[in-house]
Amino acid sequence: MNPDPGEIDYVYELTAEELRYSAGLDDLARLTWLDQARRFTLLAREAETTVYHDGKPVGSCAPPSGAEGTRLPDATC
């Protein structure tokens, strides 16, 4: 079952070449790669987003996890 698109905050799709490569890995190497990908996506979700106006930073938006950030009323994150 696919999740509701409104609930997805980060997506990474594998290319056919990456799938062929991973098929040739042993179990430990595949699990190591999977854990590295999981850690990367966690960092991407936790990163603060900087908002720019006319090429200059004017504020930032807190990540979905609720970390502190300065959210501007007109900022779209």
List 51's β-bridge partners, or say none.
59
Domain boundaries, the chain: 10-46, 48-77
Tell me, letter by letter, the H, E, C secondary structure of 21-34. HHHCCCHHHHHHHH
- Please choose, from the candidates 19, 31, 65, the residue with its C-alpha nearest in 3D space to the C-alpha of residue 46: 65
pLDDT in tens, 13-68: 889 998 898 899 999 999 998 899 889 888 877 777 777 888 887 877 766 554 44
- Kindly report the pTM of this predicted structure: 0.47
Distances (CA, A) of 12 to 35, 38, 51, 55, 76: 14, 10, 23, 28, 22
